Amino acid sequence: MITIWGRLNSHNVKKIAWAAIAMGLPHRRIDMGGAFGFTPEYLALNPNRMIPTIEDGPLVLWESNAILRYLADAYAPEFRSDDLAERAQGDKWMDWQFHFADAQRDAFLGCVRQGKDCSDPAVAASAEASSAMMALLNAELARRPWLSGQHFGIADIPMGVYAHTFYALPISRPDLPHLAAWCARLQHQPGYAETVMIPLT
C-alpha cells in the first residue's frame, strides 16, 4: 500500500490523492504540513519541509509531478502516451503548472486565507495574470481534448487541480469555452470530486 503524506487542502497533495484514486491504487493518506506541522518522522523522509511525499515499499519520493510520473510508469502506463512527442507535450503543461501557480498565488491567498477581494491590487493583478495564462491553456485545449493527448492522463492532473481553484475564486474571468469544457470533463474522472472539488481553505 502506498502512503501519501500531506494535507488535502494543498494543491500538490490533491494531485497525488486524485491520481491514486483514478489509477485504482491502494493507499492511505496522512495529514502533514500547514496546521498539522511536520513530525520528526516526516522530516526524516523529506527534509524540505514541503508536501507531498509518498512511500511505496522502500521508495521515498517527493516533488508532486515526479510522483505522478512514477505512479503512472509503475502502475498505470495507460495514463502516459506511448508516443514520445505527445508525452513531451503533456510534460510541458505539467511543468507549466508551476508558473501558473505563481501567477494565481496572490489571488488564492488573498481571497481564501486573508479575506480580500479584487479591490485589493495584489489580488486583482494575480487574477489578471491567471486569466492571461488560462487563455493560453484554452487555446491548447481547442486543439486536443486533453493535455495528455487524445485521452485523459497524468498531464491533465496538475492543471486540473489549479483550474478548479481558478473557477472557485471570487474573481473576474474571461469566457474560455475550451477550458470550461475540459473542466466539465474532469468532473467525471474518478477521484476528482472527493479530492479536488472541496472547499478552498
Calpha distance 103→67 (Å, rounded): 23
Calpha distance 56→7 (Å, rounded): 18
pLDDT confidence of residue 3? 98
Task: pLDDT band for 165, please (50, 70, 90 cuts).
Answer: very high
Residues spanned by the domain of 16:
2-78
Same domain for 175 and 110, yes or no, is: yes
**Counted domains in the chain:** 2
55-97 per-position pLDDT tens digit = 999 999 999 999 999 999 999 999 999 999 999 999 999 999 9
Calpha distance 97→113 (Å, rounded): 21
Same domain for 54 and 88, yes or no, is: no
pTM of the model: 0.96
Same domain for 49 and 140, yes or no, is: no
For cell 486540473, the residue is: 160
What is the helix, strand, coil percentage profile of the chain, to 5?
Answer: 60, 10, 35
Which CATH number does the domain housing residue 155 bear? 1.20.1050.10
Of 65, 87, 63, 74, residue with least CA distance to 27: 74
17-64 per-position pLDDT tens digit = 999 999 999 999 999 999 999 999 999 999 999 999 999 999 999 999
Domain C-terminal end among 45, 78, 111: 78
- Using CA atoms, how far residue 61 sits from 93, 134, 178, in Å, is 21, 30, 34
Same domain for 24 and 71, yes or no, is: yes
Same domain for 64 and 100, yes or no, is: no
